[in-house]
Amino acid sequence: MMKNICLLLFTLIVFSACSSTKIYPRISCHICLAQEDGILLLPLNWQEGFSQLTPGDHRYLEEMIVRIFQEEGFTKVDIYDNMEYELLNAGIKDINDPDQLAQLHLELGISYLIGISLGELAWTGNWEKIYPSDFNSPSYWDTDTQVKSNLRIAMKETATGNIISENSIETILGGFPIPIGDGETIDLNSASLFKAVRISTRKGIKNMMKDCRC
């Protein structure tokens, strides 16, 4: 009976989880990022933590990051996978090699690389998915619980190989108590793992841009 009430409320009420995001600087940005700078986003699937999300989620996040830069007037921002031909044509196969990294700047005009790693990503508490077969399904929760993600976003200068900005971003999504009568409540939460990562990514990128603008 309780589960049926939760499902009905979830269908009838449009709500979202209460979110909290904290950003912890590791390396404060010490360059002036210009709108004409070439910026390349490294593939999210290179990082093991992102295996918890789908390839479609990866693509969404990558395209979202490019849009954020474009909305701020940046014109030379791209995703690594979109430039594979240009990279191979310039003889760049391993960006961990200092000489090849420098070629990104000399041959292709890419001044900075952005890399994102996903650490902690988990539910806590008692929960059940609305759609059990969907890994990212929204959930209704019988007791108070949270979705938590922790990202690290770093930017590297290709000419020197130095990390010039790095931050850790923690997002926590909690539920809302919904009265069901007789002084009782249930906790409802529309959060998913992907939603927590999306919020962390958006706020982390915007914070990095702000920190690196002069």
Q: How confident is the model at residue 8 (pLDDT cuts 50, 70, 90)?
A: very low
- CA 203, CA 183: separation in Å to the nearest integer? 37
End-to-end C-alpha distance for the chain, whole angstroms: 58
Average pLDDT over residues 115-127: 81
Q: Is the pLDDT of residue 54 over 50?
A: yes
- CA 84, CA 89: separation in Å to the nearest integer? 8
Q: What is the pLDDT of residues 86-95, one digit of tens each?
A: 999 988 989 8
User: What is residue 130's DSSP assignment?
Assistant: S
Q: What is the pLDDT of residues 68-108, one digit of tens each?
A: 999 999 999 999 999 989 999 988 989 889 889 988 999 99
State the total domains in the chain: 1
DSSP 152-183: EEEEEETTT--EEEEEEEEEEEE-EEEEEETT
Structure tokens given for 66: 């490019």
Q: What percent of the chain has pLDDT over 90?
A: 55
Where in the sequence is the domain holding 60, given as residue range(s)? 2-212
Instruction: Judge if pTM exceeds 0.75.
Output: yes
Q: Are 76 and 35 in contact (CB under 8 A)?
A: no
Question: Residue 153's domain is classified under what CATH number?
Answer: 3.40.50.10610
Give 149's contacts (C-beta < 8 A, 6+ positions apart): 118, 120, 121, 170, 171, 193, 196, 197, 199, 200
Specify the higher pLDDT residue, 12 or 147.
Answer: 147
